[in-house]
Amino acid sequence: MSPAFRCDPVGARLMRLHPTPLDGPSALPRERPGGSLAWLRDAIIPAPGVEALVGQLADPDLTVVTTGQQAGLFTGPLYTIHKALSAAALAGHLRQAWNRPVRPVFWAAGDDHDYAEAASASWVGPDGTLESVSLPARAADAPMRPMYREPLGGTIETLLGQFLDGIPAAPHRDHVRAWLTRHYRPDATISGAYGAALAELLAPFGIVCLDSTHPTFKRAAAPFLLQALAAAGPLDAALAKVAARYEAAGESPPVVVGDGASLVFLEDRLGRDRLVPQGEGFVTRRGGDFHSGEELAAIAARDPQRLSASVLLRPVLESALLPTVAYVGGPGELRYLEMTGPVYEQTGTWQQTPVPRWSGVIVEPHVERMLAKFGATVGEAITQSSALEQRIIRSRLPASVAGALAELGRVAGELVDRVEPSALEIDPTLAGPVANARRQMDWAVRDLETRILRRLRAREDTELRQVHRVLGSLRPGGSPQERVLTVAPFLAHHGEAVLQGILEAATAWYASALEGAPFPA
């Protein structure tokens, strides 16, 4: 880590990581023959300290643990960092277990064309509310350019200012400002800025970032993509059989297949477009433009950056070009990786082991204090937020009122119990009205209690704001922290401690899980 992000040891101790394990144990990855990645040197994103790491990639016995993520504004959601550091932790575990070189590689997926997902960044403001900034929306009729071709443009300076101004004064805020300003410039692309910022952040932890759109990598990938095009029909048929098994079990397949499309995209008139077999060639799915096999082979030789893999082909391409033993992914990725077996089989590619990433929540000191004040745990705040709020309001209900409401409900029930036998003796058909009277009395007591609590809630506004501040940090917008917030505010407060803490937590998690023990709770 750059000295700018070095942390105060006292401040580091105040931050806590609460694990939220993903489902399922992880099998120990299988070993495979290694291979030098010296040829990949030019496609590794430069950053301070990366040259030494690139030198390690030349080992002929090398294997790698990979992970990756599409571009995100200001490095995107926290789970991007969780994935990268999980890959480093798993690689370290396998190095010790196998006594051979295993290195982490982060795949910066610049080919992705999902502009909406890449264009926003979110953080929690001082009052606990969720704040965000976004690049200007892309026009509905604009080409779906991949993020490595999408410029940030002049608005990025204003957005970066708003983002950084939203971070309260913190020990490392100036260093975070300098780091992001180095990379998020008007002349940079969305993916270029993302990859360069991550490369600088992750290099101190032994992680290299691969620019998967670099000509060096694209030239190496082109023959494999042409092979996948040649086998488009059989691949689609095989994947359709996999999808049918999901549907027979009453589930939706993680990825739509069986529609006749290939697993390869071409950058064409309307941007990145899926190739669909037609006659002796292929047609782009959105644009409807025909390309013969000879044309595509010429594109692969002359301009290979225009070809890219779909989500189901990418891990297979990765294993075909890199000596990959494991891919570290999130829940969605692990689901779609379950479908990829036929692609490995039909392309004759070694299948790496899918491994869950570490998952967790960063608990800030002020959040810790609020939880202690209300006698709540992190788990309660994450999974039972409404119950926690209700509990706090109830704790402010005067004991005399709470007792009276309880007694009112009890007495009402006893009175109905006393009436019921005589009523039924007079006429058994009165059973319905008696039951209805019981329900109405119960409802009246609950309604009275709800109205009292509602008035009390308005009086306890300060307390509730504190609760919302806690919930806003742990579950912003009602979603998991790691899927919403970006890492920059945490770096501003804690420096490298937040990254080192995640790496250590992931290392301990894998050490336990890969020994056959249950995932830590």
What are the tens digits of pLDDT across the range 412-447?
888 888 888 888 888 888 888 888 988 888 888 888
Q: How confident is the model at residue 521 (pLDDT cuts 50, 70, 90)?
A: very low
Please name which of 129, 130, 126 lies closest in space to residue 169, comparing C-alpha atoms. Answer: 126
Average of per-residue pLDDT across 103-111: 97
pLDDT at 434: 83
Q: What is the pLDDT of residues 330-389, one digit of tens each?
A: 999 999 999 999 999 999 999 999 999 999 999 988 888 888 887 888 888 887 666 666
Q: Say what the pLDDT of residue 22 is.
A: 80
Report the distance separating Cα 398 and Cα 385, nearest Å: 23
> What pLDDT is attached to residue 518?
47
Looking only at the bridges linking them, the beta strands covering 281-284 and 271-278 are antiparallel
Strands 63-70 and 16-19: unpaired
pLDDT above 70 covers a percentage of the chain that reads 90
Looking only at the bridges linking them, the beta strands covering 130-134 and 208-211 are unpaired
Q: 262 with 277: CB under 8 angstroms?
A: yes
Of the candidates 503, 514, 504, 516, the one whose C-alpha atom is nearest the C-alpha of residue 94 is 514
Higher pLDDT, 466 or 410: 410
457: confidence class by pLDDT, cuts 50, 70, 90: low
pLDDT of residue 87 exceeding 70: yes
How far is C-alpha 226 from the geometric centre of its chain's CA atoms?
A: 31
Render pLDDT for 389-401 as a digit per residue (tens, 0 to 9): 666 666 667 778 7
Nearest residue to 359 via CA among 67, 15, 22: 22
Residue 402 has pLDDT above 80, yes or no: no
Task: Say yes or no to pLDDT of 461 above 70.
Answer: no
pLDDT of residue 114: 94
Give 45-70 pLDDT, tens digit per residue: 999 999 999 999 999 999 999 999 99
pLDDT over 90 (residue 1): no
User: Strand pairing partners for 415?
Assistant: none
Instruction: Flag whether pLDDT at 98 surpasses 90.
Output: yes
- The pLDDT tens digits of the residues spanning 252-309 come to 999 999 999 999 999 999 999 999 999 999 999 999 999 999 999 999 999 999 999 9
Local structure of 439: helix, strand or coil: helix
Q: 267: phi > 0 → left, psi -120 to 50 → alpha, else beta; which?
A: beta
Q: How far apart are CA 176 and CA 209, in angstroms?
A: 20
Take residue 416 and report the two structure tokens written for it: 């109905």
pLDDT of residue 14: 67
Q: What are phi and psi of 70, to 5 degrees?
A: -70, 165
Residues 6+ apart with CB under 8 A from 11: 171, 493, 494, 495, 497
pLDDT attached to residue 369: 85
- Per-residue pLDDT, averaged over 214-235, amounts to 97
Taking residue 270's Cβ as centre, other Cβ atoms within 10 Å add up to 17
Instruction: Compute CA 165 distance to the chain's CA centroid, rounded to the nearest angstrom.
Output: 25
Residue 519 pLDDT? 47
Give the contacts of 385 (CB within 8 A, at least 6 positions apart): 471, 475, 478
Cite the beta strand spans of 294-335 per DSSP E. Answer: 307-309, 324-329
